[in-house]
């Protein structure tokens, strides 16, 4: 459901307002905690885009949560994924025998997540799941799906709530469509 709300920047159209984001994150956190029970969860945030979502999500999950981060780049400043995944920061510790959830801001082509799942599975976690705030299934180039999805969105370039355009707009409290 798209709203016609605009921000002061006429290139931006609000797609998901802040209140809907926060409500859905609470639902995701409750669902994850119910699925994992009292077991500790290692949340692996994919930087930089997931950091705001992950901060809110781990609070919503509650219980024992470890936080790890991976730096990944596949956009190199543009509005389209290059398809080439570059690791810019690796995990700080082992994940062997841990229940892990990769926390992603958006799954677009699926190439980055496919790469991360393969890379992390060789580190022998007890389980590995995927939680994404935004999903663009119409853009898939590889078959994959997330275990937890905040919102499925159309094929538009989005910013805000951690997502950027050349490092700008991450601080918006909502998700907006950017039209140059």
User: What's the confidence (pLDDT) of residue 6?
Assistant: 44
49-59 burial code (b ≥16 CB/10 A, e <16)? bbebbbebbbe
| Domain range summary for the chain, segments of one domain joined by + | 18-155
Q: What CA–CA distance (Å, rounded) separates 180 from 28? A: 32
pLDDT (0 to 100) of residue 180:
84
Output the pLDDT for position 51. Answer: 97
Q: Which burial class, exposed, middle or buried, applies to 31 when counting CB atoms under 10 A from its CB (0-12, 13-18, 19+)?
A: middle
CATH numeric code, 18-155:
3.40.50.2020
Active-site hit among 56, 108, 135, 164: 108
Three-state secondary-structure class, residue 21: helix
The H or E element spanning position 127 is strand 127-135
pTM above 0.75, yes or no: yes
- Residue ranges in the chain whose pLDDT is less than 70: 1-8, 75-83
Q: What is the predicted pLDDT for the residue at 7?
A: 54
Give me the pLDDT at residue 9, please.
79
Q: Return the pLDDT at 5.
A: 44
Amino acid 65: pLDDT: 98
CB 131 within 8 A of CB 146: yes
Is there a cis peptide before residue 103, judged by omega within 30 degrees of 0? Answer: no
108 is catalytic: yes
């Amino acid at each position: 459901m798209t709203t016609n709300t605009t921000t002061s920047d006429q290139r931006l159209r609000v797609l998901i307002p802040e209140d809907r984001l926060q409500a859905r994150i609470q639902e995701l956190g409750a669902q994850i905690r119910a699925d994992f029970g009292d077991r500790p969860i290692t949340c692996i945030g994919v930087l930089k885009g997931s950091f705001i979502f992950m901060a809110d999500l781990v609070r919503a999950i509650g219980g024992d949560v470890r936080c790890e981060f991976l730096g990944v780049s596949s956009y190199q400043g543009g509005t389209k994924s290059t398809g080439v995944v570059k690791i810019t920061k690796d995990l700080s510790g082992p994940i062997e025998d841990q229940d892990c959830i990769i926390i992603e801001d958006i799954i677009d082509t699926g190439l980055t997540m496919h790469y991360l799942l393969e890379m992390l599975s060789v580190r022998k976690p007890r389980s590995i799941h995927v939680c994404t705030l935004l999903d663009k299934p119409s853009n898939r180039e590889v078959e994959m799906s997330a275990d937890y999805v905040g919102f499925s969105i159309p094929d538009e370039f989005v910013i805000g709530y951690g997502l950027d355009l050349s490092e700008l707009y991450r601080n918006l409290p909502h998700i907006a469509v950017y039209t140059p």
